[in-house]
Structure 1
Amino acid sequence: MSYPDLAILALALGAAWLAALSSRPGPRGLAAVAALSGLGMAVQAWRLGPCWQYAPLCALVLALAALAWLRRRPSPRHRALVWTGRGGLLALAAAAALPWALLPVPELPPPRGPYPVGSRVFRWVDPQRLEAATADPRDRRNLVVQAWYPAAAGGAVPPPYLDGLGRLPETVSFIPSLAMARYGRIDTHARGQAPPLASTRPWPVVLFSPGYGASRGFYSGLLADLASRGFVVLALDHPYEVSVTQLADGRLATPIERLPPDDPGQLHYMAMRMEVRAEDLRGVLDRVQRGDGFGALSARMDRTRVAAIGHSFGGAAAIAAAMADPRLRAAANLDGTLYGRALRQRLEVPLLLLESDRRETGHSERYLQGTAALIRHLRAGGYRYQIAAANHYSFTDVPLFLAPPARWLLGRLVGGSRGAAATQALSNDLLTAFLHDAWRDAPGDVAAAAAHHSGLSGGALSPAAAAGAK
């Protein structure tokens, strides 16, 4: 919520409060407040377009104008209407404030790295992989990737925040798509189609897998910031699992779940989906290694420095991919629960495990057991940190969809008071140091990076200590 938004809302709500509880301001004052509020909303509508969030506020302004008109009529009937309308004004004021909790256009934190950011979306079909989620035997697996990278000057069209804007399903990750009508105006702080920035050495590559059902777009703040620090970040959407993504032929794919009835807890199903995701990651890695399909960006990617990272279920997929493919030289898991073979196999590359506050997220016993198994199977060591006052969604942009007052209230009720911007910045400080340390390509002191932030607990994991992990 911008400062003009707050000013308009405060002005209208303050006027409603005064009108409901006192005889002041008078008719002229109320009319002036209504006029100023209406002018402010007209400016906002011109800037953002019509938004449903403004409808109750428009009604409130009209009610204030009507009240000003009634106060100019001294008859008992009009005075009775004034008094009767005061309770309604308070209710209307509350209705005007509540919808603003979901911002028409969320504001993402700007990247903190030294490089400008470019972004481009790639959509391919893998002719060798069947699409198991659909009933059509002719369907083949789509790979949907958004690249974030250090950019040179150029590129004018901003990258889309979400696929399918303007034709979204009714809900996207349980959020009403009506609230996303203006998400095409979100500033991702990236230049669409910008040419990659040349350097003396190609940029290292990070493959990213999002949480279960989540769009890659919900991590734009995290990913743009990571790219600004000197990485090519390739963020995947996983078709038919993500809430909505656009396939190579232009169709929108939405979730298809076929949960087997004889699978308590859906453990087998989740293990199967994890393998599909891991294969998606490896399919994109194949293209990176071949230099196939990325245009000018292919020449700027270092094929010897590639890592897999992910959040939540995406973290599990990143671990599974790193266990199966030696071309991945590091892995990071942000709050992800492991399934299937990832609970049993060894991890031969360095690991960074970032966790939200266990008291606020309430990590399940399955998560804790899986994490302990992962640490026991480490062969190259790594690091584990818990971030105080961050909950499971703090790694995403989702908390930023709410206005600051709603964000503050939610942080007190369910946790995550550190906030998305601060959690993403901290995560990328640690990720940057960890990756350079894992690749031995630049100074990367993870402990020093952690020391710059308060509320972190944890530290290094050595292979020798891993056997005794709890």
Structure 2
Amino acid sequence: MRLFEILLVLSCFALLVDLLFIKRSAKKTGVVLCIGSGVIFVVQLLVEGYRWQLLLVYIMTALFILIVLFRHSKKMVNLKIGKLLKYSLSSLIVILLVVSTSLSVYLPVFDLPKLDGPEKVGTQTFHFTDQNRDEVLTEDQSDKRELMAQVWYPTENRNNNKRETLFPNDKEMFKKYIQSFSASLKLPDFVLDYWKYNRTNSYENVEILPSTSPYPLVLLSHGMGTSRVLHASQAENLASHGFIVVTIDHTYSTFATLFPDGRVTDYKKNTTTLDDRTKTGNIWTKDVEFVIDQIEKLNSGAIESQFKGKIDLNNIGVMGHSFGGATAFNATYLDHRIKAGVNMDGSLYEVENRDVINKPFMFIRSGNFKDWLANFDNDRNSDDEVTKSLSDELHIMKNVINQGGSMIYIEGTQHFNFTDLQFYSELIKLTGITGDINGKRGSSIVNQYVLDFFNKQLKGTGGNLIQGPNEMYPEVKFIDPEDL
């Protein structure tokens, strides 16, 4: 909970205590409590903003202020009620306040984890249209493939701009964005309204930090049906360590993609079969290749921007989560411009002719990988299509390790611990899509290993963490190729 939210809850309980246990003659105490609570109430609404989780606290605080003031008024009739009724009502009120407070704690307004790199981070969003590629996920044959890409980069933030909110500041755009998310989750719009307060560590449209040498580039792809929004902390962390990072929204494969003209596209299911996965994967791979084309234009000045000459196109990495992780592998294999890649818990959708990859690559898997591998050994000799594809995937992983790549899994994590979803609510753990590990701890571990990998492969520094077990991170286990 935020500071004034905590103070508001405490003042509400203080007012209740005054009503229950303080004598009417203690007028000064009651008046001071009412004034203090009123000030906190107003400041919380004006500074931090209203959110529905605290509705009962708002109502009770206002009601208690009025009752306490009237109670100490000379005109107030001395009403007497039985102890049973008095304490029954008090108990009910306490329960309602606890429920409201708990909702605020478990559905929190949050800031992304603080950066551990030396640089501040700027961000700028671009709208790209591939005029050479038809949009095959819509019915309009004239549609071209459109993408939203967000660039994260080191900055000085000379003008001391305020940190950006995670979601759009514009009220209408935020409303459209949330409506799409809410519809996907089958929730009323107001339930997610408080997301407008969530903050990043980044500053929008500020100048890039001057450097004597260009910055290495990393492209980041989200998972199927999620969004680039869920990877903001990973992008920020890399940027704070001297990388330029580009997060991509793969249109029609997100919960919501918001375009500058106010259009919002939602998720279209298109990965039912292995063939569907491959077709969609090819679209995503081309998205990555196209965005690299556009980054080259930004760097050359063909597209006017502040990034001219600032990007090291000889050192490009790609990473992704889930389906985006599989895309990172596919793009690394196919695109000669990509030097190294990271797959975060993504099952490959293209395993044909991918046996030998002569580039550095790292697979990071969730905590249940070892158990999954043991269970899969029982079915390894099956002839069905899915089992064969998984067997080929394990063979690829083995080759990656044997050629100097890395493969680890992180105990205590589940699939969505590789996204920012773990910061949205502790209740998400109950669904099983995130593991028992503390969200910030899990995020930090992933960030440290990804950073160490790209430092080594794109900057020629570091590389200590990916060499083997480290006592600072006992949750991280390295896979032996013989286990595959």
- When normalised by structure 1's length, the TM-score is 0.83
Q: 1:102 to 1:439 in 2, by over 3 A?
A: same
**Could you tell me which residue of structure 2 aligns to residue 262 of structure 1?**
none
1:245 corresponds to: 257
> Is 1:275 matched with 2:285?
no
Question: Is 1:198 the counterpart of 2:210 in the alignment?
Answer: yes
Partner of 2:383: none
Cα separation, partners in 2 of 1:313 and 1:169, compared to 1, 3 Å: same
Amino acid at match of 2:396: L
Change (3 A) 1:130 1:87: same
Q: Structure 1 pair 179/35, CA: closer, same or farther in 2 (3 Å)?
A: farther
Once the two structures are TM-superposed, the CA of residue 234 in structure 1 deviates from its matched residue by: 0.5
Match in the other structure for 2:166:
161
* Equivalent position of 2:411 in the other structure: 388
> Which is further off, 226-235 or 409-418?
409-418
Quote the residue 1:127 is aligned against: 131
Shift of 1:110: 1.6
Residue segments in structure 2 that go unaligned for 5+ positions in a row = 377-385
2:440: which partner in 1? 421
Is the aligned partner of 1:284 residue 2:296?
A: no
| Alignment partner of 1:376 out of 398, 401, 404 | 398
| TM-fit CA distance, 1:92 | 1.8
**Aligned 8 A contact 1:130 1:139 in 2:** yes
Name the structure 1 match of 2:226: 214
Q: Which moved more, 1:201-210 or 1:379-388?
A: 379-388
Tell me how far apart the structure 2 counterparts of residues 390 and 139 of structure 1 sit (CA, whole Å).
40
From 293, 299, 313, the counterpart of 1:303: 313
The answer for the alignment partner of 1:139 in structure 2 is 143
* CA distance, structure 2, for counterparts of residue 369 and residue 70 of structure 1: 75
Pairing of 1:227-246 with structure 2 (within 5 A): 227-246=239-258
Q: 2:461 and 2:18 mapped to 1: Cα distance?
A: 64
3-state DSSP class of the match of 1:147? strand
| 1:138-196 superposed Cα distances (whole Å, 9 cap, x missing partner) | 11101211011112444637555235313224352637653443544433212211222
SS at match of 2:115: coil
Provide the residue aligned with 1:446 in structure 2: 465
More displaced 10-residue stretch of structure 1: 27-36 or 95-104: 27-36
CA RMSD of aligned residues (A): 3.5
2:382 match = none
Q: Which amino acid aligns with 2:174?
A: L
Give the aligned residue type for 2:339: R
C-alpha distance in 2 between matches for 1:360 and 1:62: 55
CA–CA separation in structure 1 for the residues paired with 2:42 and 2:370: 41
TM-score, structure 2 length as denominator? 0.81
For 1:267 and 1:247, the matched residues in 2 are separated by: 30
Deviation at 1:420, TM superposition (A): 3.0
Q: Which of the numbers 112, 117, 134 marks the counterpart of 1:108?
A: 112
> In structure 2, what is the Cα distance between the partners aligned to 1:235 and 1:454?
27
CA separation in 2, counterparts of 1:53 and 1:113? 34
Q: 1:340 aligns to what SS in structure 2?
A: coil
Distance across 1 between alignment mates of 2:175 and 2:14? 35
Provide closer, same or farther for how the CA distance between residues 181 and 440 of structure 1 changes in structure 2, counting only shifts above 3 A.
closer
Cα drift, residue 206 of structure 1: 0.3
DSSP-derived class of the 1:458 partner: strand
CA contact (8 A) 1:345 1:377 kept: yes
Q: Deviations over 1:56-79 (max 9, x none)?
A: 111222454466567975545586
> Unaligned 5+ residue runs, structure 1?
260-264
2:268 to 248, 251, 256: 256
The answer (yes or no) to whether the contact 1:342–1:374 under 8 Å persists in 2 is no
Distance 1:297 1:159, change over 3 A: farther
Residue 133 of structure 1 aligns with an amino acid whose one-letter code is L
Return 274-283 or 371-380, whichever deviates more. Answer: 371-380
Deviation, 1:394, is: 2.3
**Structure 2 CA distance for aligned equivalents of residues 390 and 117 of structure 1:** 27
2:155 to 126, 151, 155: 151
**Aligned-residue offset at 1:49:** 2.7
Alignment length (residue pairs)? 452
SS state of the match for residue 178, structure 1?
Answer: helix
Letter in 2 for 1:317: T
